[in-house]
Amino acid sequence: MIGVFQGSVSKSLEKKEKKGRTDREGSSFNQCRAMLERLKYLLLAQQTRFDSYLAVLDKQYEAIANGGSEDILFYVELEEKIGREVFSIQKAVLPLEKLYRATYPAKAQRSDITTLKTILEARKEEVRVRLQRNRDGLAKQMTLLRSQIQTLQTSPLRRTSVYASAGIPSCLDIRL
């Protein structure tokens, strides 16, 4: 009877052990899937931020071309805000990506993640190009403004007095 009892206990222990292994494997799969979904979400959020950043850079370029200083200031502030968001998302992406690669090296080269990263790199390069374009436009605008200020400072109209046409005084009248 003890042998039968031991046999049934060992069978139930084997079942629990198998179930534990499948639970761990399922848990591992769920963790991998959750990590992958979070990584995709962050990469897509970063892509959205880059798209809005590019739109702001285009509007800023238009404002630079039109010479609206208040508009330029508005877009510069908006650009800084979006830039901070992009960098904060990047701070979350890098450790998660390293963890994913370290934990699941065989799955780390998934095509959807690689595609998203390629798109993000293209967006980053486009942002760099547009930032340089805006810097060049601002430099031209600043040169134009400086030349206008210089022209105003050396203008002959500025140096003439309202009494210049009265001529040179020849006598002085003092009355008490």
* pLDDT, position 5: 42
On average, the pLDDT of the chain sits at 76
**pLDDT band at 9; cut points 50, 70, 90:** very low
Handedness of CA 75, 77, 79, 82 (dihedral sign): negative
Q: Is the pLDDT of residue 149 over 60?
A: yes
Residue of 57, 38, 75 lying closest to 124 (CA atoms): 57
Q: Is the pLDDT of residue 1 over 70?
A: no
CB contact set of 51 (below 8 Å; sequence gap of 6+): 123
pTM passes above 0.85:
no
**pLDDT band at 39; cut points 50, 70, 90:** confident
Helices (H), the chain: 2-66, 69-103, 111-153, 156-159
Q: Is the pLDDT of residue 68 over 80?
A: no
| Terminal CA-CA length for the chain | 143
